[in-house]
Amino acid sequence: MGAAHLARPVRCGACKAPIGPVAEPIEADAAVFDEVLREATAPVLVDFWAEWCGPCRRAAPDVKHTAETMSGRAIVLKVDTEKHPDLAARYRVESIPLFLVLKNGLVVSQQAGAVGHAQMTRWLEAAGA
């Protein structure tokens, strides 16, 4: 499924069964990240994180919950800064977790530090989700 279709229901090309919008965080490398930013029409929440980061691990359930509840209205990406330092450098990530909300490829909000599901939802709704 192309990035343009991640936030809306589509049908399987083979069997024509309905496929709902993505309802979980997507682990993104540079190629996936760039495709989503280029093609997505919905706001995108990006969680820059690392396995060793305690606050990142504590925020993970809220990130997952946000992906579930905002399914069809927003896309949630997770970028492991250890595996993809190029993406972290692109957005000048100096501390994690770092959350970005992008709309049409542009940063509309950014915050370092763990936040809860309610705040993530507010950011996405403010971006048009």
Domain borders along the chain are 3-126
Share of the chain above pLDDT 90, in %: 81
Q: Residue 129 — pLDDT band, cuts 50, 70, 90?
A: confident
Coil/strand/helix, residue 84? coil
Task: Give the tens place of pLDDT for each residue, 12-47.
Answer: 667 766 656 789 999 999 999 999 999 999 999 999
> Please, are residues 56 and 25 in contact by the beta-carbon 8 Å criterion?
no
pTM for the full model? 0.86
Give me the active site residues, please.
Answer: 53, 56
Task: Give the tens place of pLDDT for each residue, 53-96.
Answer: 999 999 999 999 999 999 999 999 999 999 999 999 999 999 99
d(CA 113, CA 13): 41
Assigned CATH for 3-126: 3.40.30.10
67: left (phi over 0), alpha (psi -120 to 50) or beta: alpha
